[in-house]
């Protein structure tokens, strides 16, 4: 076929295929293999995928320890009608993991409890890369780590930022130990010099990558406690931090005490979780753990505690649909298929 079809047309056809089909096509002949594994084709295919329907990765756990599963589905009108279970390379580990971030088909995975353990994972090509330990001199068990993941358009490189904290039992605060940056191009960590980084992050702090920067909701101990909550962003290209103030929604500033960052479309969003008892009329507001918004505006969230279920809520019709997935915790991330390679990676 390639003898009769111009190469430009062949590339255009191949770029529209899903990754699973491309992996099969790469075995057809040497010329197809060379074209599909070419970095320029990876970029072409990625740009084509971005314009099409994205996927959702749903991570959930059972009440049984270390029984984590990952499933994916298309974010279209048939969303959640059919799930594809992903081969989880971390399933046999004694640790529990969380997804730090998603970018161009790569997922960054870190230890849920904040240890110095992280991976890069491309589920589409079933490859993962174990990030090396950074060699911190502090060996105290209270040392914990917060990760962020994103893409540097300037250097065309994927980066992971890691912030190491030591819990101070006297002040009940956190002491910054060290910051490091991992680049996929070098497969190594290097220190980041940051002056006056006074913010406190929890190991459970949610992070998102949008507009070239990783964002976290943090606490500034230098301010009044009610007003010390803000957003800090780390620019992957310039490798600098910047602050973003939150609107003063309530006079006491406590509206954001359970806030988290999210991405809606291509914009940064803040989602807050509130639960308040109103004795005057005996009404109670309950937590709605917002996991993600679909392209059509529906909201995915967990319904019920303990062995909860994943449901989809239509804000227009107020209809709730049970998606048939049960577990004790759920996390949803946007994702797209890609051929982005991980040099030195292991197979699932």
**CA 165 from chain center: how many Å?**
21
Mean pLDDT of 181-193: 91
Q: Write the pLDDT tens digit of every residue in 70-117.
A: 777 766 666 666 777 777 776 656 667 788 888 888 989 888 777 888
Mean pLDDT of 192-203: 78
Q: Which residues have CB under 8 Å from 87's CB, separation 6+?
A: 123, 126, 348
pLDDT of residue 64: 56
pLDDT of residue 159: 96
CB 289 within 8 A of CB 60: no
HSE-up of residue 40 (Cα within 13 Å, Cβ side): 5
pLDDT of residue 227: 62
Tokens of 125: 């090509």
What end-to-end distance do the CA atoms of the chain give, in Å? Answer: 33
User: What is d(CA 259, CA 257) in angstroms, rounded to the nearest whole number?
Assistant: 6
Most confident stretch, 91-100, 161-170, 220-229: 161-170
Mean pLDDT of 155-180: 79
Q: Which has more confidence, 81 or 209? A: 209
Q: Which has more confidence, 52 or 13? A: 13
**CA 221 from chain center: how many Å?**
27
Strands (E), 192-304: 207-210, 213-219, 229-235, 240-244, 259-264, 267-272, 277-278, 283-284, 290-293, 299-303
Q: Which residues pair with 168 in a beta bridge?
A: 173
Q: Write the pLDDT tens digit of every residue in 226-281.
A: 567 888 999 999 999 998 887 665 544 445 566 777 776 677 877 766 544 444 44
Q: Which fold has domain 53-347?
A: Neuraminidase (2.120.10)
CATH numeric code, 1-52: 1.20.1280
DSSP per-residue string spanning 25-53: HTTT-HHHHHHHTSHHHHHHHHHHHHTS-
pLDDT of residue 78: 60
Do domains 1-52 and 53-347 share one topology? The answer is no
pLDDT of residue 169: 60
**pLDDT over 90 at 148, yes or no:** yes
**pLDDT over 90 at 157, yes or no:** yes
> Other C-beta atoms within 10 Å of 343: how many?
9
> Other C-beta atoms within 10 Å of 62: how many?
14
pLDDT of residue 283: 39
Q: Domain residues of the chain, as ranges?
A: 1-52, 53-347
Q: State the alpha helices, DSSP H only, in the chain.
A: 7-14, 19-25, 30-36, 39-50
Share the mean pLDDT of the chain: 76
pLDDT of residue 140: 53
pLDDT of residue 213: 93
Mean pLDDT of 120-143: 77
pLDDT band of 149, cuts 50, 70, 90: very high
CB 60 within 8 A of CB 331: yes
What φ, ψ does residue 259 adopt, rounded to 5°?
A: -85, 155
pLDDT band of 168, cuts 50, 70, 90: low
Q: What is the pTM of this model?
A: 0.80
């Amino acid at each position: 076929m390639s003898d009769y079809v111009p190469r430009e047309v062949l590339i255009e056809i191949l770029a529209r295929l899903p990754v699973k089909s491309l992996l099969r096509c790469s075995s057809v002949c040497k010329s197809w293999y060379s074209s599909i594994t070419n970095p320029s084709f990876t970029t072409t295919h990625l740009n084509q995928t971005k314009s099409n329907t994205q996927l959702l990765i749903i991570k959930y756990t059972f009440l049984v320890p270390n029984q984590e599963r990952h499933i994916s589905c298309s974010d279209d009108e048939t969303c959640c009608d059919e799930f594809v279970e992903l081969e989880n390379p971390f399933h046999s580990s004694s640790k529990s993991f969380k997804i730090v971030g998603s970018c161009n088909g790569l997922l960054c995975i870190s230890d849920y409890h904040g240890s110095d353990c992280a991976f890069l994972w491309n589920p589409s090509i079933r490859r993962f890369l174990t990030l090396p330990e950074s060699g911190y001199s502090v060996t105290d068990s209270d040392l914990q780590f917060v990760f962020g993941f994103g893409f540097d358009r300037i250097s065309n490189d994927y980066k992971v930022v890691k912030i190491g904290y030591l819990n101070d039992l006297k002040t009940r605060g956190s002491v910054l130990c060290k910051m490091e940056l991992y680049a996929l191009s070098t497969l190594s960590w290097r220190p980041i010099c940051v002056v006056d980084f006074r913010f406190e992050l929890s190991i459970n702090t949610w992070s998102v990558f949008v507009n070239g920067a990783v964002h976290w909701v943090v606490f500034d101990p230098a301010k009044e406690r009610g007003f010390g909550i803000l957003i800090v962003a780390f620019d992957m290209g310039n490798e600098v931090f910047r602050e973003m103030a939150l609107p003063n929604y309530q006079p006491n500033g406590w509206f954001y005490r359970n806030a988290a960052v999210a991405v809606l479309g291509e914009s940064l969003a803040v989602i807050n979780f509130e639960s308040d008892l109103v004795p005057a009329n005996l009404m109670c507001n309950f937590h709605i753990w917002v996991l993600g918004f679909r392209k059509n505006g529906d909201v995915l969230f967990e319904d019920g505690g303990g062995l909860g279920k994943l449901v989809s809520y239509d804000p227009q019709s107020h209809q709730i649909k049970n998606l048939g997935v049960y577990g004790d915790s759920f996390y949803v991330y946007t994702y797209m298929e890609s051929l982005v390679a991980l040099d030195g990676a292991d197979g699932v």
